[in-house]
Structure 1
Amino acid sequence: MDTSTQTTSTTLASNHPRQSLLRSPTFHQALAGFLGGATTTILLHPLDLVKIRFQVDNKRRAGILRGTVAALRTIHSQDGFVGLYRGLSPNFIASTLSWGFYFTCYDTIKSKLRKHISPTADLTPAHHLLASSITGILTCLLTNPIWILKIRMCADRAADPHAYQTFRAGFRDLYTNEGVRGLYRGLVPALFGVTQKSVQFVAYEELKRWRIHVRNGKIGGGIHERESGTGLIESGKNASLNNGADKLGTIDFMGIATVSKLFAMGVTYPYQVVRARIQNQRGNNAGAYKSTLGTISVIYHGEGVSGFYKGIGPNLIRVLPGSVLMFVVYESVSKACRMYLA
C-alpha cells in the first residue's frame, strides 16, 4: 500500500462515526458522569433512603451518627437487605441520567462561552456559574418526575398501602392520578436546588485551578492560562493536557470535592427538605405542603429552624464520600478516555 492510500485509509477511519463518537470530548464527559453517578448511587443508596425518611417525617428527630445507624438497623430488621435498597431504580436512573447529562451539557456550554469570548480566554467564576446554572435548570426539567418517584418509593415501605412497587407502576400511577402537573410537583424548590450544584461546581473549578497552580509552582506567576474543552487548565502555547488536571492525583480530587461539596451543602440544604415534603404529597388535593412558601411556613412554625435540617446527618455521611467518589471516578474516567480514546 502506497503512502497516499494509507493516508486515505487513515482519514476514512478517523471519520468513521463510531470512532468520531469515541474520540469526542462530549462522549468522554457523558461516560465519566454516567459511571460516576452509577457508582455512588449503588454504593450509597441506603443512606439516601434514611435521609428521605427523616426529611418527610415531621416528628422524628435523630442525631447525625446514632440516628442514622439506628434507622438502618430498623429498616434491615423490618424489610431485610432488600429494604435498604427500596427506591434504587428511580435513584439509579435519575442519578446516572442527571450526572451524565450535567457533565456533557456543562462542558459544551463552557466550550461555547470560550469560543464566544476568545479561544485563548480564561473563563471566570461568573462564566462557570452561568454554565452550571443553565445546565442545572435543564437537568432539573429533565429529571424532576424521576426524583418524585424516588422520594415516594424511599419514603414508603413496600408493605405500606398505596406504595409504589416498581418504577413503571409508580410512573403510571403518578401520571394517571396527577397528570403533567403532578410530574413537576416540587419544581420550584428543585430549581432553587440548582444553586447547590452551581455553587459546588464553581468552588470545584476554582479549587482545582488553585491546586494546579500549586502543583506547577505557578502561584502569582502571571503566565497566560486557558481552559481546554475538557475543563482542564493549560498554560502558555506549549501547554498540554499533562500540565493540567492530569498532574493531580486521587488525594487532590478527594480534597477538592470534599471542600466544594461541604461549602455548597451548607448554603443550600434546606431546599431538599422543602422539596421532599412537597413531592411526597399524593394526589391533586395535597395536604399541608401545597406550595413552596406554604411548606416553608408549616415547617418553620411546626418544627423550627432545625426542621429545615432534618436528614442532614445521613446526608453528611452520604454526600461526603459520595461527592468524593463521584469526582474521583469522573476525573479517572476522563483521564482514561483522554489517554486511550483521544
Structure 2
Amino acid sequence: MADSVADVDAQEGNSSSLQTAKDLFSGAAGGIAQVLIGQPFDIVKVRLQTSTAYPTALSAATSIYRHEGALAFYKGTLTPLLGIGACVSIQFGAFHAARRYLEDHRHPSLAGTPLSYSQYYLAGAFAGVANSVLSGPIEHVRIRLQTQPHGAGRLYAGPWDCVRQLRGHGALYRGQAVTVLREAQAYGLWFLAFEWMMNADAARTGTARKKIASWKVALYGGLAGEALWLGSYPLDVVKSKMQTDGFGKGQRYKTMRDCFAQTFRAEGVRGFWKGIGPTLLRAMPVSAGTFAVVEATMRAIN
C-alpha cells in the first residue's frame, strides 16, 4: 500500500525479514477482503468485456441472477480466494521491499524524506510485475470459470479441472505479455496515487502518516483504485479477450498485438472501455477494503 503502513512498519527493532513477513501477511488478509467484496462486480465486468449479449451492466447482472441464481455471482471464487490472497501479499511485500531498496540507495542528504513520485511508481510497477507470475494463470482460470455456460453445458468441473485442460492446450499462461504490462501500469498508478493523497493529507494537517485516520486511509485507497483502472483498463480488456479465446482452429487472437488490432477494427476505441462502469463501481469498495484491512492488520501485528 503505502507509507501509512510503511511508517507503522518502520518501528525500531523490526528486522528487514520480519517486516517483509508482516507485509506479506497483511497483504494476504487484504487480498481475501478484496475477493469477497469484488467478485460479484468482477463477473459482470468479464461478461461485458467478452460478450455482446449484454447492452449494460445492469442487464448483465439481471441476466446472471435470473438464469443462474445469486450464487453465480461467486462463480470461480475458490481460485481467486486462494490465489488473490497470495497475489496481494506479493504486491505489498514487493512494493515495500522495492521502497526500502530505493530509500537505502539514494543520496544521504535525502534520508528521512519521502521518495519521489516516479520512484513510488517504479516500486509499484515492480510489485505488479512480481505479482503477474501468479495473477496471470489465476485470472485466466477465474475468467474461464466465469464465462463458461451454465448447467449441462459446463466446460470445467472446477478450478483444478480448468487448470488441467488449459495445461493440456499449453495455454495456462495465455495473455501473459499483456498481463505483465497491465500489472506494471496498474500497480504503479495504484501506489503512486495513494502516496500522493497520503502525503498531501499529512502536509495539509501536519499529522504523522501513521496517525492519519483509518477512514481516510480507506478513502484514499478507494480513489487509488479508480486511478488504477482508468490507467490500465484497455490492457485488461485485451487480456480478458485473449483468456476467453478458443483453442486450435477456434482461436481468434494470435498475439496481443493482433487482439488490439481486431478489437479496434471491430469496435473502435469504445471497445477498449466496455465494462468500465461496473469496474469503477467495484474499484472504490474493493480498493478501500484492501487498504483498510492491510492497514488494520499491520497496526495490529505491530
1:117 is paired with a residue of what secondary structure?
coil
Residue matched to 2:82: 93
Tell me, in whole angstroms, the C-alpha distance in 2 between the residues paired with 1:287 and 1:249. Answer: 50
Residue matched to 2:43: 49
Give the counterpart of 1:211 among 201, 208, 232: 201
Tell me, in whole angstroms, the C-alpha distance in 2 between the residues paired with 1:276 and 1:47. Answer: 15
Residue matched to 1:28: 22
1:183 is paired with a residue of what secondary structure?
coil
**Structure 2 residue runs without a partner (length 5+):** 1-13
Between structure 1 and structure 2, the one with the greater Rg is: 1
Q: CA deviation digits over 1:248-283, x for unaligned, max 9?
A: 112311331233222332222111111000011132
Pairing 1:83–2:72 present: yes
Give the counterpart of 1:151 among 121, 129, 143: 143
Residue matched to 1:61: 55
Shift of 1:162: 5.2
Residue matched to 1:331: 295
Identity over aligned pairs, percent: 23
Task: Give the 3 Å change call, closer, same or farther, for CA 309–320 of structure 1 in structure 2.
Answer: same
Residue matched to 1:117: 106
Shift of 1:60: 3.5
Contact 1:61 1:310 in 2 (8 A): no
- Give me the TM-score of the superposition, normalised by structure 1: 0.77
Larger CA deviation: 77-86 vs 159-168: 159-168
Contact 1:196 1:265 in 2 (8 A): yes
What number of residue pairs does the alignment pair up? 286
Shift of 1:48: 0.7
Pairing 1:306–2:298 present: no
Residue matched to 2:254: 290
CA RMSD of aligned residues (A): 2.3
Task: Give the 3 Å change call, closer, same or farther, for CA 285–93 of structure 1 in structure 2.
Answer: farther
Q: Which structure 2 residues correspond to residues 159-170 of structure 1 after superposition, within 5 A? A: 159=151, 161=153, 163-170=155-162
Larger CA deviation: 122-131 vs 103-112: 122-131
Tell me, in whole angstroms, the C-alpha distance in 1 between the residues paired with 2:66 and 2:55. Answer: 20
1:282 is paired with a residue of what secondary structure?
coil
2:149 is paired with a residue of what secondary structure?
coil
Task: Give the 3 Å change call, closer, same or farther, for CA 184–284 of structure 1 in structure 2.
Answer: farther
Q: Which structure 2 residues correspond to residues 259-274 of structure 1 after superposition, within 5 A? A: 259-274=223-238
Tell me, in whole angstroms, the C-alpha distance in 1 between the residues paired with 2:123 and 2:250. Answer: 35
Give the counterpart of 1:278 among 242, 247, 259: 242
Shift of 1:131: 1.5
What letter matches 1:204 in structure 2? F
What letter matches 2:96 in structure 1? D
Shift of 1:160: 5.8
Tell me, in whole angstroms, the C-alpha distance in 2 between the residues paired with 1:33 and 1:142. Answer: 14
**Structure 1 residue runs without a partner (length 5+):** 1-19, 217-242
- Give me the TM-score of the superposition, normalised by structure 2: 0.87
Contact 1:113 1:127 in 2 (8 A): yes
